[in-house]
Structure 1
Amino acid sequence: MKLSMFGSEYSIPTDIVAAWVSVIVIGLVATYFVVKKRKLYVIWDYMKTTNHRKIGILYLLFGILYFFRAGIDALLIRTQLAIPNNDFWVFQGEKYNELFTTHGTLMIFFVAMPLLLGLMNIAVPLQIGARDLAFPFLNALGFWLFFAGSVFFNLAFFIDMTPEVGWTGYAPLSRAAFTPGAGTEFYVFGLQVSGLGTIFTALNLIVTIVRHRAPGMLYTRMPLFAWASLITSFLILIAFTVLAIALYLLMFDRLFGTGFFSGDEGDPVFWQHLFWIFGHPEVYILALPAFGIFSDIISTFSKKRVFGYGTMVASIGLIGFLGFMVWVHHMFTVGLGPVVNTFFAITTMAIAVPTGIKVFNWLFTMRGGVIHFTTPMLFALGFIPSFVIGGVTGVMLSLSAADFQFHDTHFVVAHFHYVIIASTILGVFAGLYYWYPKITGYILDEKLGKWHFWTFLIGYHVTFFPMHITGLEGMPRRVYTYSETDGIFLLNALSTVGAFLMGISMLFVIWNVYKTHKMKVKVSHDPWNGRTLEWTVPSPAPVHTFEPMPVIQSIDAYWYAKLAGHVLPTTTDVRIKPLERDSIQPFCIAMSLLIVSTGLTFRWYWLAITGGVALFAMLVLRSFTDEREDFYGKGDEHA
């Protein structure tokens, strides 16, 4: 199909037209039923909501959806590597490159991030006594930007344009000269748009935690999940801004022929610096919130205050600070010289110190406690030895001389997955089981939860522990085959069995959710006998919480109030909260950026201009909205 506009002729592939027509038709039909028939009113309600719990649910739903998609990619990768010289379906060469690119990008940006942001949205305001996030409109916009970026990235699969540059997008491979076509643009614009939403959410969390804590909720009294979320939000502001700069420069290289990462003036190593200045703090962006989740869970189910609260807070902050001083350990083989390599080897070893401190804090919290082995607690206990294994191999990789052997082998794959799955994925599972009553009003079945825990944990270790050995044997990462003479068939087969066991474990989750919601057994506001403020509000958490506002006088104030046999003191002498004003504008703004991204990807500049005009119009419309009355109340004495 050809289109003439503004004196230029554009060629539009038929499959792209078909894909967009399908999306438009489905959207129109859904809108008809939502608005006219009111059969799917709940969808319309969530499309325009600005409530923190509902937005958190949206983050969780799409994070879980992409988790299954990325998990299937992982099973296909392991199936291809199960036996030597495998000829499994079509997943070889270029298709295999697409497979691990999609798997890595989805898991990092569209699974781990939204799942953690979803838990932050739901739990943090409740833990600190806030009635919502500081900027409800911006919160909704942050989610819909994530949604738009994730949809754009996944759209590439349906039109056979999946990027094949790895989740790191290394230049010069990611430049147009080496990966022509529009595939890499889906990577670039998908991460740009979703990353902008993540930055907005981080800003929102910072303001909320700094300005909207309950009376008496000093920094020294905040739950550790709130502390971890605050420090993580500062990391996001810096790291995702650097990633946005890198993607912006790569976009110019691809679309307009600049030479930031090639040629006489540019250098591909510039991309590595920019990406890993983002990439290694991203590891702690994913891990620190999970540390906070585990801290709260271990304290709750050990019936003890967290051991060394001040040390825990200090170690979280130190990890965040040192996280920006270790990025070059990803680049030891680039040739930056012994002085640079030595400095970053030392900082990499140093970051193990505050991490080790946290492990001992968790162990001493349990020491002498009355431990209840609930499903959330099992995930916390499974995390500790698993994460220690990942930390030990991290110290091994910090030795620059040894890294020349380990680099780009399955040893690095094993290390990375031991760190991220142990912290982030086990942390998310623990948080979901722990806060599920606050999300839905129901509690997940403990027996099925324990089946999920044991099958996942065993499968996880069976999958990735053998990769340490295959890596030491010299098996490179990102290869789709190996020979029988390499002597690593049994180890690869074992890893494949473990991967499928992890996949099977998720069937218990599906059945658990179905069974729980079918039985519809409501739980009380405090089913775990919790210690923090979220357990003072009904389950599920209502739209309007903390009326009147509780007054906090100590760490774990709710727990000690229960022990004393009285309720928390309250006050009405507080600032009026920002009321949620439902709006479809965040969704429309995100969709306009999706249109701009589509236009730039296929060089349909007329479409990019159209989306830009629509975006500008909606921003102007938004500027006429005055919500100051929502903060102070019309005519209120606090105004």
Structure 2
Amino acid sequence: MKALRLHRQFEAIWGTPPGWRGALTTVNHSTLGKRLMLTAFGFFLIGGVLAMLIRAQLATPHSAFVGPAIFNQLFTMHGSIMMFLFAIPMFEGFTIYMLPKLLGTRDFAFPRLTAYGWWCYLFGGSLLILAMLLGVAPDAGWFMYTPLSSKPYSPGINADFWLLGITFVEISAIVTAADIVVTILKLRAPGMSLDKMPLFAWYMLVTAMMMLIGFPPLILGSVLLELERAFDWPFFDATRGGDALLWQHLFWLFGHPEVYIIFLPAAGVVSTILPVMARTRILGYGWIVGAILALGFLSFGLWVHHMFAVGIPHMALAFFSAASTLVAVPTGVQIFAWIGTLWSGRPQMRLPMLYLLGFFFVFVMGGLTGVMVAVVPFDWQAHDTAFVTAHLHYVLVGGFVFPMLAGAYYWLGHLIGRQRQYTLGVTAFWLIFIGFNMTFFLMHVVGLLGQPRRIETYPEGLGWTGYNLLSSVGSFVLAFGIALFIIDLSLQFFHAPRTRRNPWGATTLEWAMMLPSPSYNIASIPNVDDRDPLAARPALALELARGEGYLGEPRHGWRETLAVETASGRLDHIVVLPGNTSLPIWTAAVTGAFFVAMLLGLYWIAPVPLIGVAVLGWRWAAVLGRRTDIGPLPLGGGETAVTHWEARDPPGWWGSVFVLLADATFFGSLLFGYAYLWTVAPGWPPPRLMAGSLIEPALGVIGAGLAVVGARAATRRLARDGEGHSGMAGAGLALLFGALLATALLRAPAPTGHAYHAVIAVMIGYALFHVGVALLIQIFVHRRGRAGYLSARRSAERRIATLWTDYGAASGVIVLLATHLPGLVA
């Protein structure tokens, strides 16, 4: 009876209200995770249909199924959908749904940010699908190489749909990555130190960090190319000091880590399911963690691996070839750990295990061909042939789709609360496995015979016809397998019996919950003292259901969970999460309005949505906080802790740190582009540099110093006296903003004349934006202090404002020095 009472009380606090209002305002991670997975799977089906159309066109020589223009749209949209709208969102959705359950917590650190990311993804993806329905889909390839994607060679709106839609989607990825990192580092069950985390959490921690560092270069490249297309700023135009290869560098700075960003979450699924199927513990936990960290680090040293054929120096070829080969080592460590786990256990051939065996076969083949294309002489021969297409699919489908299909059956009880009953899944597996290998293994062969990628037809007599026909037949076999998988899951959902708790006999925390899991996950939060908590305490699920852990009794209608110290996992503070709200969907809609205005060429309207985002952001932060101190509150078991309002480093502070990390990567990529063009682009330096001056840099340095010193002084006064105003910080930021604005208005030449002037304009605009944001945050925190939301205990908002002030001041000074010093030296 107690468990039932607790369930009803927690559902009243954490549940989603019925009806359309509840659907639009929910911030519950389980609901949003399911939506994201279903939407990503829908995009996967669309991308699959496009792939079948491609294979139908290539089945025979001189095919007239579609013309060249439509074919270009087909392969561009297929690649874009699979890479940007399926693979990354699918593992994000799975992570949003499953990660808090694995960590023994009740939700993500920033539920409203989770909802905002979902709506941005939905709106951005819909833009691309709308383009396809209107017949103006992107047609320059999913890699959008310049100058093909530049205005002279892609004059329509097609490329703009890609640049703006993908950038919109990438906003979703960035905010979700920051949310994932903070949740893993702070919102674990007490006692779960880093060395006791489930391996999936390690995989996702490294993956999310890679997203924060790897996605900003692509966002920068998209921004620069859209500025070139919309306003004729010549970043990639060699006749005016640009360089088309700059796009390739920015794209592959994202693109090669992207392969591992897709693989690592799937590898986390493998490391979670495999020991359960083998009925043993995972072998080499520490080695796997080391391999994950090494893979995340090495993946950023490989981007030129995709540019071996562009004419780079031999020293660079040797370095990147060696790095591309070296990355196989941490991948091999994981594979041998998985094989060792199977060898030391007693594997059971259940359906998830079948998909894992398919993963081993396909992914290892993809890895072997990856080593082949890492060797420069072979890559020169195979580059831009169907061999590379086959390799890519073996790595991505083998490394991602097969493990996710295994996860779909393994966590089926969690998702729908029913146990697998029908055997169609086995037939579906064999159709998928045979159809996939039939399709793409033959593409290796035809690629070695010389068939290029991205051709819509080919002549007879080259020896390609039979292979292409069989490959096309295989693609339809694969499609039948996917259709049977959908039918099988539908039958389980509507007709299979209810599942029991923990049907696999697993040892991780997600199986300590009711199935399907309630909106609050667990009635009380456990204290974890083992890497396999359910194996160490078999009665843990019952204890938690009775409310015998932490926060077992709801109070004040709060959505409470716990935060821990980052490394040790010791209890730190209580986090009170925000409830359902319409702010995320409105903010996403206004953000989308900016991209739509840019897409339609309504540039004079575009600033209005940006102002709207600022207003909503102000409202977003203004509804949080308290005007009174609370002090420590009881948790259960005789322990107490303060709330996050009074904690020194609450999740909001950590979130700002990692958002600024992504921001700094964007800025670093911009500085890289500036240095790259200065070094290799034709016509650098330009005939006339920007007029140098000591006045603006001097004023900027003074303003930055005042801002940093003033922000820190206000933080110290708040901690000491309970009040602290940031007037000096605000004045310093205003002075720095004025120095940057004067530089833009008085010194900077027109950005259309030369790439140097265009880059300078972007750098000044970047600095102005961030100094303005820091100034706005300082004004907000000043008003919060006047309204009573700050005290010596409640000082986190002031410390967050200091972070943004430091970043705005540093970036502003760097831009002033970078823009003025060359002119002074010249």
TM-score with structure 2 setting the length: 0.70
Q: Cα deviations across residues 202-244 of structure 1 (Å, max 9, x unaligned)?
A: 0011001001111111111111111100000000001111111
Gaps of 5+ in 2: 1-16, 552-561, 563-570, 635-639, 644-826
2:42 aligned residue (51, 65, 77): 65
Q: Is the 8 A contact 1:374 1:446 kept in 2?
A: no
Deviation at 1:538, TM superposition (A): 0.8
Deviation at 1:442, TM superposition (A): 1.9
Deviation at 1:618, TM superposition (A): 2.1
2:587 aligned residue? 589
Q: Distance in 1 between matches of 2:405 and 2:511?
A: 19
Q: Label 1:471 to 1:378 Cα distance change in 2 as closer, same or farther (>3 A).
A: same
Q: Distance in 2 between matches of 1:620 and 1:161?
A: 37
Deviation at 1:245, TM superposition (A): 0.8
Q: Is the 8 A contact 1:101 1:163 kept in 2?
A: yes
Q: Label 1:439 to 1:628 Cα distance change in 2 as closer, same or farther (>3 A).
A: farther
Gaps of 5+ in 1: 1-39
**1:478 lines up with 2:476 in the alignment:** no
1:5-404 equivalences in 2 (<5 Å) = 41-88=18-65, 91-263=66-238, 264-404=240-380
Q: Distance in 1 between matches of 2:87 and 2:144?
A: 19
Q: Distance in 1 between matches of 2:578 and 2:620?
A: 15
SS state at 2:577 partner: coil
Q: Distance in 2 between matches of 1:633 and 1:582?
A: 26
Q: Cα deviations across residues 22-41 of structure 1 (Å, max 9, x unaligned)?
A: xxxxxxxxxxxxxxxxxx95
Deviation at 1:608, TM superposition (A): 2.7
2:430 aligned residue? 454
Match of 2:623, as an amino acid? T
Deviation at 1:630, TM superposition (A): 14
Q: Distance in 2 between matches of 1:132 and 1:177?
A: 49
Q: Distance in 2 between matches of 1:340 and 1:142?
A: 38
Q: Is the 8 A contact 1:145 1:194 kept in 2?
A: yes
Match of 1:198, as an amino acid? A
Q: Distance in 2 between matches of 1:362 and 1:43?
A: 45
1:437-452 equivalences in 2 (<5 Å) = 437-445=413-421, 447-452=423-428
Q: Distance in 2 between matches of 1:244 and 1:324?
A: 16
Q: Distance in 1 between matches of 2:452 and 2:630?
A: 60
SS state at 1:331 partner: helix
2:600 aligned residue? 602
TM-score with structure 1 setting the length: 0.90
Match of 1:157, as an amino acid? M
SS state at 1:517 partner: helix
SS state at 1:111 partner: helix
2:404 aligned residue (416, 423, 428): 428
Q: Is the 8 A contact 1:307 1:362 kept in 2?
A: yes
Q: Percent identity at matched positions?
A: 35
Q: Label 1:630 to 1:97 Cα distance change in 2 as closer, same or farther (>3 A).
A: farther
Q: Label 1:444 to 1:176 Cα distance change in 2 as closer, same or farther (>3 A).
A: farther
Number of matched pairs: 598
Deviation at 1:119, TM superposition (A): 0.8
Q: Label 1:632 to 1:63 Cα distance change in 2 as closer, same or farther (>3 A).
A: farther
Q: Is the 8 A contact 1:129 1:213 kept in 2?
A: yes
Deviation at 1:527, TM superposition (A): 1.7
Q: Cα deviations across residues 530-588 of structure 1 (Å, max 9, x unaligned)?
A: 11000001111111133321121121121232399996884459643433511111111
Q: Distance in 2 between matches of 1:567 and 1:585?
A: 37
Deviation at 1:444, TM superposition (A): 3.8
2:478 aligned residue? 502
Match of 1:461, as an amino acid? N
1:15 aligned residue? none
Q: Label 1:53 to 1:366 Cα distance change in 2 as closer, same or farther (>3 A).
A: same
SS state at 2:423 partner: helix
Q: Is the 8 A contact 1:73 1:100 kept in 2?
A: yes
Q: Label 1:593 to 1:565 Cα distance change in 2 as closer, same or farther (>3 A).
A: closer
Q: What do you get for the CA RMSD once the two structures are aligned?
A: 2.2
Q: Is the 8 A contact 1:578 1:630 kept in 2?
A: no
Q: Label 1:628 to 1:337 Cα distance change in 2 as closer, same or farther (>3 A).
A: farther
Q: Cα deviations across residues 592-633 of structure 1 (Å, max 9, x unaligned)?
A: 222221211121235434433433332232232115699989
SS state at 1:283 partner: helix
Q: Cα deviations across residues 100-140 of structure 1 (Å, max 9, x unaligned)?
A: 00000000000111110011111111111121111111111
Deviation at 1:397, TM superposition (A): 0.2
* Structure of larger gyration radius: 2
